[in-house]
Structure 1
Amino acid sequence: VTVFKRSGIRRRLKPETYLLQEENGNLFMNTGFRIDVAYNEATDVLTFSPNGDYVRVKPQPETPAEE
């Protein structure tokens, strides 16, 4: 999983990649502390505990250019 965090004086986004691990059927990533990860396929929601739910953004259909 790659997440972006702001760091430094200029607050630029910096990517950080973590390995998803499985333990007793539960997914988590170790970022220095454990973050549990769950996915609900029916609602298409990804949950990071304790950081909350993330919903997939559906792309907006492109509108044809007016001629």
Structure 2
Amino acid sequence: MKRTSKILLLFSYVLLLASCKDSPEKQLEQMRGEWVHVKRHPAFTLSKTGGKYTVTRKANIRGKILETAYQVSEQDGKLFIETGFAILLTYDKERDRITLSPGGEYKRVTNPKNKTR
């Protein structure tokens, strides 16, 4: 009987910890905004349009700003940017950084006019 109680208690803790993890939808909501690469790669904006999240990449090509939008999708609890092949999108809440794999690390733009942190 004691053993069963301990197993049930352990199972309860596991369920509690699993429910504390942020859902992909909540993570995306926290990630909305403008992001710049830490090593000067093209910036992007993560936004919600029509109930779907999109990443809009901005690149300066010969003096012209080109914008390309990609949809963000979720598979098995992981977030991906659909660009023809999947780019993994992860968020570090403590550091407020996004990592694209492949693609590198991005920091949030807090002053949009200067594009600086």
- TM-score w.r.t. the length of structure 2 is 0.44
String of CA shifts for 1:48-67, please: whole Å, max 9, x gaps: 111100112343xxxxxxxx
- The SS at the match of 2:58 is strand
Q: Distance in 1 between matches of 2:68 and 2:89?
A: 16
Q: Does 1:35 align with 2:96?
A: no
Q: How many residues align?
A: 57
Kindly report structure 1 stretches of 4+ aligned residues shifted beyond 6 Å. Answer: none
Choose the corresponding residue for 1:5, options 51, 54, 59.
59
Q: Distance in 2 between matches of 1:23 and 1:11?
A: 37
- The SS at the match of 1:18 is strand
- Structure 1 pair 38–6 and aligned structure 2 pair: CA distance change class (3 A): same
Structure 1, unaligned runs of 5 or more: 60-67
Per the alignment, residue 54 of structure 1 pairs with 106
Percent of matched pairs sharing the same residue = 37
- By how many angstroms is 1:30 displaced? 1.3
Structure 2, unaligned runs of 5 or more: 1-54, 112-117
RMSD: 1.6
Q: Distance in 2 between matches of 1:13 and 1:57?
A: 18
Bigger Rg, which one: 2
Task: Tell me which protein shows more strand as a share of its residues.
Answer: 1
